[in-house]
Amino acid sequence: MNSEHEKLVVIDHPVVARDLTILRNKETGTAVFRQALARVSTILAYNALQNIRLRETEVETPIEKTTGFEIDPEIVVVPILRAGLGLVDAITTFVPDARIGHLGMYRDEVTKKPVDYYVNIPHGIENALVLVVDPMLATGGSACDAISFLKSKGAREIRFTCLISAPEGVKKVQQEHPDVVIITAALDQKLNDDKFIVPGLGDAGDRIFGTT
């Protein structure tokens, strides 16, 4: 794992490099795409949960009592619909009792800006570690809107996890929300004129759900 900036974590792992190649390949079918995404998502989730607070607890082994640990903050996962759903299972594998909120956004094809259409966020996020997940961090518009909304609802500790990011999106999040850590599997070259990430992997939602 390496970080080019204090709040940007780019995962450097052989499995991630291999699976990103599978995900980028336009010939990769839906089933194989989902399998590769699940593997990368697990590594992303592991890194998104780094350095969280623990509290001590006492357990009794078959031999004697000993001190163990439990995760201290409540974990709330907020996928940006619909593509963000593809990253949720990996986090709940590590934290089965995590609560899940939903933010529905789509990109206006003319303005290229995010439009909200659905919101369902658990109560009590002000005391939780909120993990916002979305496969693509392109312009940063959806990410910043989601983070701003969650802060308006009281969230104080937010981490953003994505599969692929563009420098433009990273810059926007860092400028508007410098307190938010970004965990990504790849920092790509740029956005094209249609605001798609280059080289990217196309529309993540379409490829996850087989709607291409």
Active site residues: 107, 111, 203, 206
Pull the structure tokens for residue 38.
């699940």
Helices of type H across 57-199? 88-94, 141-152, 167-176
d(CA 37, CA 41): 6
Find where tokens 């963000």 sit. 84
Structure tokens at 211: 């709607």
Token pair recorded at residue 152: 């308006």
The residues near 178 (Cβ < 8 Å, ≥ 6 apart) are 7
Instruction: Give the chain's radius of gyration (CA, Å).
Output: 18
Q: Residue 81 in contact with residue 103, Cβ under 8 Å?
A: yes
Give the SS3 label for residue 52. coil
Q: How far is CA 26 from the centre of its chain?
A: 23
